[in-house]
Amino acid sequence: MRTLMVLKIGGSVITDKSKKTREIREEKLRAIGESLKTLWPKPLIIVHGAGTYGHPLAKEYNLNMGYRDPSSLEGFVKTSSSVRQLNSKVVEILNEIGLPCIGIPAGIVFRTRRGIIESVDLDPFLASLDIGVTPVTCGDVTFDRTLKFTVLSGDSIAVYLARKLSAKTLVFATDVDGVYNYRDNERQIIKELKRGAHLRIHYRDIGDATGGMANKIEEAYNAVEAGVEVSIVNGLYPERVVEALLGRPVLGTRLII
């Protein structure tokens, strides 16, 4: 489906990671939603991060380690319920704006093995796209064949779907303008980032359960290899998100092999 666009909205765009409270940054989401509406009915899948609805719990209960004892189940179910709430709110807001959306719980349709996606039920995504409804899924906790359960990032989901469904574009909307190059105390946006160069960059570690910018980019190259145009843009500027989804040049970082 070379017309498909996949958008990952970072948890740091729709929640305030500096606060750790479970609150949605509604105006930011509304602004993105208003811009995305202009793309309808072009096929689009939205994946959003868990932000403060997922990371603090994932850390507190060490969910990356999977099932350890019956008490670890508490963390699993609490996180599942929390990200489900966020997903419902996101869907509600986007629908209110007039972008027809439906929430698809990643923890139910994706199955992992040691944290890597092993299988997915694509039917809900395809059926939804078929009738012009935008599927909205998010980073979640999943049932894992080895660990019993684990954390699955929205980045991995977005890359997987973009590859599997041969998307045209995959855009990561983050809270920064793109990937920076720091030189002589000055920073510059890297407009095109080659895989080799990416491996030499030292990224700031933000200590999230799912690994921040370095992991995002490493995974994203799998989509680039499959022919998807991948870029990282600032989600606080919705017009950049839309332009990048359409494959047009925009301020941000484009990944190239």
Cis peptide before 70 (omega within 30 of 0): no
- Report if residue 128 touches ligand IPE, rule: CB under 6 A: no
- Report if residue 11 touches ligand IPE, rule: CB under 6 A: yes
Single residue of 139, 178, 238, 252 touching ligand IPE by CB under 6 A: 139
User: How many CA atoms does the CB half-sphere of 189 hold within 13 Å?
Assistant: 15
Smaller CB separation from ligand IPE, 53 or 125? 53
- Report if residue 140 touches ligand IPE, rule: CB under 6 A: yes
**Token reading at 19:** 């606060």
Smaller CB separation from ligand IPE, 62 or 166? 62
Single residue of 29, 45, 93, 151 touching ligand IPE by CB under 6 A: 151
Calpha distance 228→221 (Å, rounded): 9
Please name every residue paired with 15 in a beta bridge, in sequence order, or none if there are none: 24
x/- mask, ligand IPE, residues 32-71, rule CB under 6 A, reads -----------------xxx--xx--x-------------
* Size of interface with ligand IPE, in residues (CB under 6 A): 20
Torsion angle of alpha carbons 90, 93, 95, 100, nearest 10°?
-40
Distance of CA 186 to the CA centre of its chain: 29
Distance of CA 169 to the CA centre of its chain: 14
- Report if residue 107 touches ligand IPE, rule: CB under 6 A: no
Calpha distance 105→117 (Å, rounded): 14
Q: Which residues of the chain form contacts with ligand IPE (CB under 6 A)? A: 10-11, 49-51, 54-55, 58, 79, 83, 139-141, 151, 153-155, 208-210
